[in-house]
Structure 1
Amino acid sequence: MVGRRCASALIVVLFGCAEGGSLDGGGEAGSTGVGDGGAGPSTSTEGPAGPGSTGPGCYDEICNGKDDNCDGTIDNPELLNGLPCDTGTPGACASGTTFCDNGVQMCTPTVAPGEVPEACNAIDDDCNNVVDDLDANVVCPAQNPGAVNVGAWSCTGECAITACATGTSNFNGTLEDGCECATDNAADQCDASATTTVPVGATVMLTGVVETSGASDWLTFQFDVPGPTYPYHPKIELTNSSGGAYSLDILLDCAGNAAGCSTTGGANDETGIAANVWEQNYAGYTPGPGCCSDPTPRQSVVRVRVNRTTPPACDAYTVTATNP
C-alpha cells in the first residue's frame, strides 16, 4: 500500500506542475518539486510569437500566400501592393507598381504597351523596342503648336526645323514660334529675279529680308515708257534701310554695269552703286534718233541688288520704284 501511494503522488506532481508551480514548496517554479532541490523536466510554454508579433517565427510580409508577419492577414495588400517595380518591358512601359495576386507578385505597368503614342523625345513611348519611330512632319507640329511657316521637320531625339516655307526664316533659332520672320520671295541671283512692271503714273514697293551675311536680293524693274512729248522720270529709292542695314546697287544688266544717274536732264555725273536713290529725269521724251538733248541712255529695265551691310536679323528693307 505504501508503494501505491508514492506512485500516485508522483503522477500528480508531474501533471500538476506543468505551469511552473510547486507542490509542497519543495521546488522552484518550473521544477517537479520532487526531493530537496531536485530538478525535473522543463514545463515552459515559450513557442512561436503570437499574432502581429515580430518575435521568433514572424517575418516581414512577402507575397507568398502566407501570413508572414503574424497579423492575421495573408499577403497584406497595404504592405505589398502599389510599390514601384520594373516590368521588364522597354521604354516608357518599364515603370510599374506591384500587385500580389494569390501569392504571386505581379508588376502592373504604369503605361501599357501601345497606350501612349510615340513622341519625339528619345523615349520608346509606345514600347515597341524602337525609339522615335514616327513621321516628324506629323508629330513635331503637334508637339510645337506655336511653330508657324515650317516647311519640314526632323526628329533625332528632339524636333528640329529643317526647312522654312518660302518667304520665311527662323532667325531666332527657336522651335516655339517656328519660322517667325517673313522675308520675301526675291531671287539671290540676278538672272533668276522676277520682273516687276512699273506703269506710267504708278508707284511700286517691294519689301524683303536678306537672310545671310554677304548675300543679296535681286529685283528687276521694268518702267513703262510714256508717249511722245511726255516727261520720263524713272526713280528707285531705298525707302527703308532698317537703320543702315542695307544698300543698293542699280545696274543696267547682270554683267554688273552700273546704271547712270541724271537728276537734272543733263549728262551722267554719278552712278547707282552703293546708292540710296537712283533716277533719270527727261523733261520731254520724243522717240527716235537725235530726239533729245539729254545724252543719258534712257533706261527702262533696271536691275537692283539689295546688299546686307549688317549681321542677319529679321529687319526688312523697302525698295520703292516710281514712274510719275
Structure 2
Amino acid sequence: MGVTTGHMKLHCSQTPGPHGQDHWPTSYPECGGNAQSPIDIRTDSVMFDPDLPAVQPHGYDQPGIEPLELRNNGHTVQLSLPPTLHLGGLPQKYTAAQLHLHWGQKGSQEGSEHQINSEATAAELHVVHYDSESYGSPSEAAQKPQGLAVLGILIEVGETENPAYEHILSHLHKIRHKDDVTLVPPFSVRGLFPQQLEQFFRYNGSLTTPPCYQSVLWTVFNRRVQISMGQLEKLQETLSSTEEEPPEPLIRNYRVPQPLNQRTVFASFTQVGPLYTTGEMLGLGVGILAGCLCLLLAVYFIARKIRKKRLGNRKSVVFTSARAATEA
C-alpha cells in the first residue's frame, strides 16, 4: 500500500513483486520494524473483541458529480477519492484519500497482500484514509501513530463480471504507461466493498511499500468480493511500470506477509475458522452426498435381508404346521 498525495510519494520498489523487498530496510529503516504489513491472519490465534464497532462508510455511494482521477503511478493503479467520503466506527474521523490495487503475475490467482490462514487471493483493494481531525493532510498523518486507516478487501475470481470494478478496469487501456492519467465518471465506491461489513480483522501495522511507516490502523474484511477471470486478466496484462518502450509489465506488486511479532489481531466476530474455497465446499458437498447414498444403500440391503429372513421364517412355520396337520 502506498500513499500519493501532494508532494509526498510513498511507493513500491521499482522491481516488480517480492524481489528486492529484503533490501528495503537499507534505504528505509522502518521497513525493518516490528509492526509491518501485510500479515498472514491466523484465525486460530485472533482475539474476539465484542466492543469493536461496525465500520461505517459515509458518502461512498454518492461520491459527487466531479470525475475521479485514475493514474498509473508505475507500481499500481490509483483512484483519487473526494474528501466527502469518510469512515465512522473508528477512534477518529478518517477521511478518504485514494484507493489502489495489488495483484500477481499473468495467470496467477495469488496476488493479495494479506492472507488468511496462509491463503492468498487473486488481488486486494486498499482504500486509504487519514485522521482529518488531527492532521491537515495524508502526508502529515502518514508519519503519526494511527494517522492512517486502511480498508483491505480481498478479491477472488467468480463466475460473473463485477460491474463496480468495471468502473476502474474498463479504463486501464487509457493509462498503459507510467504517469498516464485519465478521468473516470463518479460511481458508487461502496460497490467495491463486500456487501456485509460486520466481519473484519483489526490490527496495527504499516504501509506495505517504502517508507513503510508504522502508522496504519488496518481493517481487513473477512468477506471477499468477486471479479471475473476476464477482469483479473485486464488487471494483470494491461499496465506497464515504465514510460518507455518496450513496456515492462506491471505485475506482482504485492509485499509478502511480515512477522506478526508481539501484535494482537482482533476480530469483530466469533465464528472464525478456516475459509473454504468454492471447490473445497463443492468437494465437501459431494463427499457428504456420497456418504448419505452409501448409508441409504446399506440400510436398504439390511432391511431387504431382514425381510427375506422373516419371509423364510414365516414359510417354515407354515410348512411345519401343514406337516403336523397331515401327520395327525
Give the TM-score taking structure 1 as reference length: 0.19
Whose helix fraction is larger, Structure 1's or Structure 2's? 2
Higher relative contact order (CA 8 A, sep 6+): 2
Larger Rg: 1
Q: Compute the TM-score of the two structures, normalised by the length of structure 2.
A: 0.19
